[in-house]
Structures are given as structure tokens and as C-alpha cells.
Amino acid sequence: MTTSVERLKRQAAEAAVDLIQPGMVVGLGAGSTALKAIECIGERVADGRLHGIVGVPCSAQVASDAQRLGVPLTTLDEHPVLDLTIDGADEVDPQLRVIKGGGGALLREKIVAQASRREIIIVDEGKLSDRLGTTWALPVEVIPFGWRTHLDFFASLGATVTVRTADRNAWFRTDSGNLILDCNFGPMADPDALAAVLESRAGIVEHGLFIGLVSAVVVAGKDGVWWLGGKKG
């Protein structure tokens, strides 16, 4: 049976997919909510409502899901500019800043977002926060070499750190072979300043703060679907 949250994810996905026009190049985000959008795109390709579109997947798992669902795929090498990307988020604040990376695909998701004319985020209303970090730790992707040297660095910034694990307690590895450190900063007073500090640290490949990248957020809740930032993005 479909849960209420799953229904909300589907509603947000459908509203975002309505923006896709035939012939577009579309970024395909990672995560359970973004998967709803891929399912919706596949259905519309199958019934002829969408034709001539191609998708750029943000992870190997997304590529596999898209192929299974009948969404034609391409690459950023073939299409370095995307018309639109639809992706999920772990947490969203009123300034359209988001935390992403719960699925571990933050590096490729950010590359695709930066290549997109519009980045549309889809969430259920439970993902909204007044301050980022209130409900979600910040994923930070680091190269394996010297990863332990970052622990004191994050502690100096006030974070507690957990090394993400996968099956059988093995370290989680991203598609690029890196590690994810989940850094709990608590509610962030200044996400922009924190992002700048993280970007200055050697060994950090990417962080899950998406700032200045989101065109609009589609939110589905008990009272319906609404847009933050405007439908036109």
C-alpha cells in the first residue's frame, strides 16, 4: 500500500515533470523522491506525451533505474548544457538553500546542477526547515587518503562526524570511490560561510550544501502542492 509520504513524493514529481517539454535534455537526480520523477518521465515517454528527450543520470544507480523505466540516456560530454534537472533534497530552507547527499551522489548531482539552466527540487513538506542542519547532518565527500585528518578539523567547526557505512559495516563508497563523512553541525547560522570554509580544505571533494543553484522547489503536503521560488524558476 502506498504511504502518504510516497503519495506526496509522487505529487511533487508530477508537478515538476510537467515542466519538461519534448526535445529537452533533462538531469535525473538521485534518491527516492527523484526516482518518482524518473518513473513519471518513463510513463510519459511510453505513452507518447514526451518524445525526443534524453536524460543525464547523476549516479550509476540512477542510470540503471532510468534504463529499466525506459528513459533514454545521454552524457554531459554529449550535452554539456541541460535544460532542466529534477532532483530531491534532504532539507530545504526558505532561501532555497538545500542539503543533499543522503544517497551519496552529491558530487555528480552538483556537477549536473551547475550544468543546468534550471534546477528544480522536489520534496514533501517534511523536508522544510527554518535552518539547514536542523534535521539532517551535512554529507561531505572526501578522498580516502588522509581522511582521518579531517576529524579534528570538523570538530573545530563544532560538528560531530560519522563515517558512512554500507552493507556489513563496510565503508560506503561513492561512484568515484570516495568516502562520505556525515557531519552534524546542528542548525546552521551561516551555511554560505560554512560552505566557503569547507571548499578551502584540501581532501574535501565536495559538500552537500547546494547554495545559489536551486531555481525552484516543488513542495507536496497535506494541503496540496506549492512552489517556492516560482514555477518558472
Active site residue ranges: 109
Rounded to 10°, the helix 60-68/32-46 angle is 30
What's the grid cell of residue 53?
A: 528527450
At 33 the three-state DSSP class reads helix
DSSP H helices, the chain, are 4-17, 32-46, 60-68, 106-114, 150-156, 191-199
| Polymer length in residues for the chain | 233
Fill in the amino acid letter for 30: A
